[in-house]
Chains A and B, each alone.
Chain A
Amino acid sequence: MINTQGMVAETATKIYTDLCAREVPHEAEAGRYPQALWDALTENGLPLAWVSEANGGFGADLDEVFGAIWASAQAASPVPFAETLIANWMLDRAGLAPADGSASFALSGHTPSADIPFGMHADKIVLFDEAHHEISLFDNRVAVRSPEESLSPDGMTQFVFSGHVAEQSAKTDLSRQAFEALILTVRAVQMAAAMESALNLSIDYVTQREQFGRPLSKFQAIQQQLAVAASECAAATMAATQAASAIARHSNDPEQAWHEAVIAKVQIGHSVEAVTVPFHQVHGAMGYTQEYDLHHYTRRLWAWRDALGNEHLWSKRLGEALAVTSPDQVWKGVTTGDWTDRKSVAS
């Protein structure tokens, strides 16, 4: 289970309960950005939860904040809360001050452009430039933003990093794997939370909707479909929780949590189809309408499973990493979650 106790998680849960009721994601999509929600998160300092106290944040442990991310995803958060947390963590790990306002992030690979989630709303963009081991902060408001086709209502923009002058830049000693570990873990927590919310909607729907003179929930075909989907949701939560626990344990060296984060990405990515298909199926045509809430979760799940590359790509990356270690090491990882090959580290 994701830990939803503690001040950060409880404060976020309360804010989302009060200010992100079911109509808010609908209104946001119609163009009425929920500024009050973002302001409440900011006034409580929540986007700074992972920023060290020296840089003006809470310096919260990583695992204290995953419960807040869980709450935001269950509310289909239409503001870039998780993205700002990630961006500020990246800045902090390079010794830079947190972003002024909301932020999103990108990891630069071999291309000078990147897809930015929430790119139309985030005030700032934080970039990890792998080639130069550098973290930079850009002002997104002065950039030329081109909205990309996106599956998610949160939107995506293409940001081309050419000739932009960073507001701040600093070297970081963290590897790409370290940033991937955190980003994939945050996404895993969001996805598990969204899956559970969509499961809850489905259960509510089938217990209320009647056909052939009885609730849909009384048909065994419906029960068995939702039971399978529920097992996938439970597995998703476990995968996300193990990743969260690993990165919290290795907060000084997040690269060590890479395998557990990738496992969560692969496990949850593969289960998206296994849950969204039955959720839509049991809802009938109603679940396919804009008016109903299900798509706030299913469209985000479809977008998040593609973020940083889809589950097929990451399955291959994980398999490649495992294929060069020994079968003994693979077993050790499966059973204990310790994926550090001491022999290869020593050599």
Chain B
Amino acid sequence: MQRFNFPVVQPDPALEELRGELQAFLKEEREAGNFRPEPECWMASADPEFSKKMGERGWIGLTWSSQYGGHDKSALERYIVTEETLRSGAPVAAHWIADRQHAPMLLAHGTEEQKLDILPRIAAGECYFAIGLSEPGAGSDLANVKTKAEKVPEGWKINGQKIWSSGAHMCHYMVALLRTSPADGRNRHVGLSQIMIDLSLPGVTIKPIVDLSGDAHFNEVYFEDVIVPDDCLLGEEGGGWKQVTGELAMERSGPERFLSSYITLETALYQLSGKMGSDSHARLGKLIAGLRTLKGMSWGIANLLDQGVSPETEAALVKDLGNRLENDLTQQVRAMLNDLSSEDWSPDMRRIMNIGVLRSPPNTLRGGTTEVMRGITARQLGLR
């Protein structure tokens, strides 16, 4: 009897063809100076022009139907695209979240009109979405959201505030978890709903939050009597909690949870070519063993998702292990680089390392903190 369900998937040569196309494109773009590689690119490195190029090549919206501008491919093909863009540190943050979670959400819960209107624009790399979960009083305790949507004749009237909304300043929509009716006594999971909000509507105010590195990729978003039409309710009224937790497997198990700083390692491998000492060999071996193992786990979940299974605990395990590995990667590479004298570091190496260090704290926070992930695992173990 094995406790966790991570299937092993046999290699598929057809997928490798797609990988080759991605690699050729990304190399060309990088060499043309169209982007500078960065760690954590999926969160903090956005370039709408780059997103449009990805869209033109058919690399956004891979999994959904061509009827809605998609490409009728599998979740595994989408995985290859995300993996290769992460490896290159390419500026994919603009479209990443819409492609990963909001398009599937619209496919499941949107009206035909919304699907025909919005999905082709997402697939073209022209329409971006922000996540509307956290609030000042609702972080790990997500069920404490206070932002309200009231039923009015024109639809829903929204008042309140969301925070840490990555990319909201360049996004067209937010899907927000809102209170549409009061909690039932101590059961706060009832009465929450997911509503899609056009961020250009009157009453929406977006204020940037500057992070410790000086980047302003996340925001506060205020809603003051914002009116959205009825059909912006996604899914069931009052079913928001279940929908949100159901999406988390997708959000937590992808390659961005352990490959976001691979660019740091790869840049160092070029730098250290022929100069690595035995201590660095040991560090490299251990890192690669961890990365290969995480890839197996994450890939196993991608296969389950493709079959319609959404394994919440396995996804929490991948996020916890992956975040630890990513932070460790940066530290191990710092040690390995002692095989060079510091004046031999290329400017790119120094820039990438610095970005990697500065962007490391949120790894273990966003998408659910490490402590929350371990709580999910503990529940599966029967401890709580």
Determine which of B1, B293, B377 lies in contact with A267 in the assembled complex, contact meaning CB atoms within 8 Å: B293
Known interface pairs A237-B4, A238-B296, A263-B293. Does A322 touch B371 (Cβ–Cβ under 8 Å)? no
The B268-282 residues at the A interface (CB cut-off 8 A) are 269-270, 272, 276, 278, 280-282
Assembly CA distance A4 to B2 (angstroms): 9
Known interface pairs A235-B293, A238-B300, A327-B270. Does A245 touch B8 (Cβ–Cβ under 8 Å)? yes
Assembly CA distance A317 to B285 (angstroms): 7
Nearest chain A CB to B31 CB, angstrom units: 15
Task: Answer yes or no: B306 CB below 8 A from chain A CBs.
Answer: no
Task: Answer yes or no: A239 CB below 8 A from chain B CBs.
Answer: yes
- A319 proximity list for chain B (CB < 8 A): 276, 280-286, 288
- B297 proximity list for chain A (CB < 8 A): 234-235, 238
Assembly CA distance A230 to B1 (angstroms): 15
Known interface pairs A231-B377, A235-B321, A327-B266. Does A217 touch B292 (Cβ–Cβ under 8 Å)? no
Q: Kindly state the interface size class of chain A when it binds its partner.
A: 35 or more
**Interface residue SS majority, chain A:** helix
Query: Is A234 a contact of B6 with CB atoms below 8 Å?
Result: yes
Task: Answer yes or no: A182 CB below 8 A from chain B CBs.
Answer: no
Task: Answer yes or no: B40 CB below 8 A from chain A CBs.
Answer: no
| Residue of B8, B10, B16, B87 with most chain A CB atoms under a 10 A cut-off | B8
Query: Is A318 a contact of B293 with CB atoms below 8 Å?
Result: no
Task: Answer yes or no: A207 CB below 8 A from chain B CBs.
Answer: yes
Task: Answer yes or no: A20 CB below 8 A from chain B CBs.
Answer: no
Query: Is B377 a contact of A230 with CB atoms below 8 Å?
Result: yes
The B102-158 residues at the A interface (CB cut-off 8 A) are none
Using an 8 Å CB-CB cutoff, how does the interface string of B286-324 with A read, 1 for contact, 0 for none? 101111111111001000000000000010010011000
Task: Answer yes or no: B191 CB below 8 A from chain A CBs.
Answer: no
Using an 8 Å CB-CB cutoff, how does the interface string of A189-228 with B read, 1 for contact, 0 for none? 0000000100110010011000000000110001110111
Query: Is A230 a contact of B381 with CB atoms below 8 Å?
Result: yes
Query: Is B381 a contact of A263 with CB atoms below 8 Å?
Result: no
Q: Which residue of B lies closest to A224 (CB)?
A: B374
Known interface pairs A266-B286, A319-B285. Does A234 touch B8 (Cβ–Cβ under 8 Å)? no
- B288 proximity list for chain A (CB < 8 A): 263, 318-319, 322, 330, 333-334
Nearest chain B CB to A219 CB, angstrom units: 9
A37-45, A105-113, A308-316: which lies at the interface: A308-316
- A231 proximity list for chain B (CB < 8 A): 317, 320-321, 377
- A230 proximity list for chain B (CB < 8 A): 3-4, 317, 377, 381
Nearest chain A CB to B177 CB, angstrom units: 25
- A323 proximity list for chain B (CB < 8 A): 272, 276, 280-281, 284
Interface residues contributed by chain B, number (CB under 8 Å): 53
- B321 proximity list for chain A (CB < 8 A): 231-232, 234-235
Determine which of B8, B11, B317 lies in contact with A241 in the assembled complex, contact meaning CB atoms within 8 Å: B8
Nearest chain A CB to B47 CB, angstrom units: 23
- A333 proximity list for chain B (CB < 8 A): 288, 292
Task: Answer yes or no: B365 CB below 8 A from chain A CBs.
Answer: no
Task: Answer yes or no: B378 CB below 8 A from chain A CBs.
Answer: yes
Query: Is B317 a contact of A249 with CB atoms below 8 Å?
Result: no
Assembly CA distance A242 to B288 (angstroms): 14
A93-101, A166-174, A335-343: which lies at the interface: A335-343
Query: Is A196 a contact of B2 with CB atoms below 8 Å?
Result: yes
Using an 8 Å CB-CB cutoff, how does the interface string of A264-275 with B read, 1 for contact, 0 for none? 101100100000
Task: Answer yes or no: A233 CB below 8 A from chain B CBs.
Answer: yes
Determine which of A228, A238, A322, A327 lies in contact with B6 in the assembled complex, contact meaning CB atoms within 8 Å: A238
Residues of B within 8 A of A (CB): 1-8, 10-11, 16, 19, 83, 87, 262, 266, 269-270, 272, 276, 278, 280-286, 288-297, 300, 314, 317, 320-321, 371, 373-375, 377-378, 381-384
Add 19 more A-B contacts to A206-B383, A230-B377 (CB < 8 A). Answer: A223-B384, A227-B383, A231-B317, A234-B4, A235-B293, A235-B317, A237-B2, A238-B8, A238-B293, A245-B8, A249-B10, A267-B293, A318-B288, A318-B289, A323-B276, A330-B269, A334-B291, A335-B83, A337-B292
